[in-house]
Structure 1
Amino acid sequence: MDFDEPIDRRGTDSLKWNLYANTEVLPMWVADMEFRAPRAMLDALAGRLEHGVLGYTDPPPALTDAIVSRMQTAYDWNVAGEAVVYLNGVVPALNVVCRAFAAPDQAVATPTPIYHPFLAAPDQQERRIIELEASRDEGRWSFPIDAFAEAAEREDIGVLLLCNPYNPVGRVLNRSELEAIVAVCVRHDITLCSDEIHCELILDDLPHLPVASLSEAAARQTVTLMAHTKTFNVAGIAGGFAIIQNDSRRRRFEAVSKGLTAAIGPFVYESMLAAFTRCDEWREALLDYLRGNRDWLEAEVAGIDGVSMTHVEGTYLAWIDVSDLGLDDPKSYFESFGVGFSPGRQFGDNGFVRLNFACAQAMLVEAVSRFRAGVAALRG
């Protein structure tokens, strides 16, 4: 578990690195990590590959048992095995939810800034989107509950797309926030789709609260989306699972999924089972390393005039405010100094960039040095 080890990903057809192929730009954008996946997971995948037959695969009962056990142990959440629905990715599931639970004349609501597939999925499924601007008070982002409640009174909303932990702003939503969101959804019978893919990447001493675990009413309204792919760095093995405790909503989700989503392959199941049964020691070491990177990054950004970032409670993503720099295209500007961020425009606010700090600290230090040079050049 040497997270300082530099790993050369050039020539591996990495999406992240290919964007800047044949350049010296450091890619600090898309959310995969610069670390090897856990050895126990790689061994499990190698063992499955060695068998030599990679045919159509049913979900292993041991995996469903592992998920049920993990929900109980980690979150005190009692989930029945039949509530688990396997996915070929969280993003396809967002689209299924929009199609399944928002009628053509209904809207889909989501806070902004937000992970960009949330903004794309409603349009892809020919549904109208309502963007709810998140509030930032004293350096802390909050879900826009008042705006959501007002929109629910005024508009016919079929679905709320929620991200918790909240990408890109790094918040871990608390009980009072989640209970207020559930109350609006119950009052107006809005399906609450909660993307909790970063739930095992909480860096502060805070609990992750699956929104569906809060009450029976919350469980009835909620489609929870989770995956092992972010935490254990196997994003290229697209897969995950939904927990849908409402029988009618689960049947509807499964019916709409038919023919629209791909079959799930054996590597998804094998990697997920290994993640949830054999890789916890690796995850704890990862979290320690990410905390160190986050703390160093927050201190460095605080010392750069004209930019700021809010504290990252969870995820490995920093949402950096560059609005005072007056840049029309922050992404392109900082690329010219050799560092590649995710553009804030993609998430709903062009005054920000998103930085992925899940990398060896030496790479992060170099990226911030280039960022600092870009800011200094504007200051003359």
Structure 2
Amino acid sequence: MIFSFDQQIERRYGDSIKWNKYKNKDIIPLWVADTDFKSPQCIIDAINARVSHGIFGYGDTPSLLVDIFINYLYKKFNWKLKPEWIVVLPGVVSGLNLSVRAFTNINERVITPIPIYPPFRNAAKLANRGQLNIPLILKNNRWVLNLEIARDKISNKERLLMLCNPQNPGGTVYKLQELKEQLSFAQQNNLIVCSDEIHCDLILEPNTEHVPFGSLNEDAAQRSITFMSPSKSFNIAGLGASIAIIPNKILRKKFMRIRQGIVPEVNLIARVAAEAAWLKGNKWLHSLINYLRINRDLLSYQVNSFTSLSMVSPEATYLGWIDISNLNINNPKLYFEKYGLGFSSGMDFGDNNFIRFNFGCTRHTLEEALKRLKVALKKYN
């Protein structure tokens, strides 16, 4: 079956937060992490079938979604889950915030690698918790966690280690040995590990495998909360359906108690979409990865051809983390917007020397963006 990802779908006049940010402006939105690709037909068909029923009352326990997810994860990662471990949520961000509030007290701290997806940094602030930021370092052309710095800075106040794997914005897929080192660090310091693995389906680098943190061994399972979702992989982030995997019964009860009365159940349509994605979307996803890999390679080649920019080729995700430190620009986001490029500011992730480039777009859009980038750099020079 052939899937086309070159189709230009007009999003400027709808309800897209990505495109409406630059409404009536000639700026290509390359910021927030959704893609410009039509979701797979199996999801659209499943939603249409549910909508045609015409009644949208309170939904029952999402046991079918749980069963489909358990089977999907076992086939993909050989991780055998139990149904009682699964908590269905309307989004990973709510899960991150719940984790901070459930597993830390007011006088305890959260360990957060930076740069990282902004909601990680915000979760501690919103809960009035302290935060120990540990920088990622560039090692063998990969952004990895510097545990030596973490060991030097850690006190007895840290309770929760926040991980993002595959890493957003760096694109690293942590190797088995790296995950084991992170587990050892957590064991030595009595840490619970909150692992956001929302991009685990989007592995672009050949011969690279994603390993869920909780699948390492029994200890890893018992000290971890893992988040996954079809939202990024199948471009259904606007629907909101995610999974928390919490094998430890005590942690799960704490998580559920904090959630009670605040975070709602997943809505019916989101559930139907997630079921279809994990049950029938694999061929579409395989084609998407091939398309994104070409986009990644084109972006990486072009960016690294400029003497003033550099970018590590991401092993996963559709996000390029571009080093612009040689430009010496105070507000990179505003500078590039003048030349029609709407990037994510590196400051949001913890480092203003970078911008994040969302290459989850059509090849035409990517090529136009690269032309504009060339003009922006020429004007700067």
TM-score > 0.5 by shorter chain = yes
Q: Structure 1 CA distance, aligned partners of 2:142 and 2:76?
A: 26
Distance in 1, matches of 2:223 and 2:151, equals 16
Once the two structures are superposed, the pairs formed by residues 129-144 of structure 1 within 5 Å of their partners are 129-144=131-146
Aligned pair partner of 1:353 in 355, 360, 369: 355
Q: Classify the secondary structure of the residue corresponding to 1:236.
A: coil
Alignment of 1:174-323 (within 5 A): 174-204=175-205, 205-323=207-325
TM-score of the superposed pair, with normalisation by structure 2: 0.97
Secondary structure in structure 2 of the residue aligned to 1:134: strand
Counterpart for residue 330 of structure 1: 332
SS at match of 1:16: helix
Q: Distance in 1 between matches of 2:245 and 2:214?
A: 9
Letter of the 2:349 counterpart:
F
Q: What runs of 5+ residues in structure 1 fail to find an aligned partner?
A: none
RMSD: 1.0
- What SS does structure 1 have at the residue aligned with 2:76? helix
- State how 1:153-192 maps to structure 2 within 5 Å: 154-192=155-193
Q: Is the 8 A contact 2:88 2:265 kept in 1?
A: no
Q: Structure 2: which amino acid aligns with 1:260?
A: I
**Contact 1:59/1:269 (<8 A) preserved:** no
Inter-partner Cα distance in structure 2 for 1:260 and 1:147? 36
1:22 equivalent among 10, 24, 45: 24
Q: Distance in 2 between matches of 1:242 and 1:87?
A: 7
TM-score, normalised via structure 1 length? 0.98
Counterpart for residue 80 of structure 1: 82
How big is each residue's C-alpha offset from its partner over 1:49-73, in whole Å with a ceiling of 9 and x where there is no partner?
A: 1111111112432221111111211
What amino acid maps onto 2:73 in structure 1? Answer: M
Matched residue SS, 1:276: helix
Alignment of 1:61-100 (within 5 A): 61-100=63-102
Partner of 1:54: 56
Whether contact under 8 Å (1:88, 1:262) holds in the other structure is yes
Deviations 1:121-160 (A, max 9, x none): 00101111111011113532111111223333x2411111
CA offsets 1:65-104 (integer angstroms, 9 cap, x no match) = 1111112111111110110100110001111000000111
Structure 2: runs of 5+ lacking an equivalent: none
Shift, 1:374, TM fit:
0.7
TM-superposition CA deviations, 1:239-270 (whole Å, max 9, x none): 20100001111111111111221232101210
Give 1:117's match in structure 2, choosing from 92, 116, 119.
119
Whether the 8 Å CA contact 1:107–1:155 is kept in 2: the answer is no
Instruction: Report the Cα distance in structure 1 between the residues aligned to 2:65 and 2:168, rounded to whole angstroms.
Output: 27
- The number of residue pairs the alignment matches comes to 378
Q: Structure 1 CA distance, aligned partners of 2:177 and 2:152?
A: 18
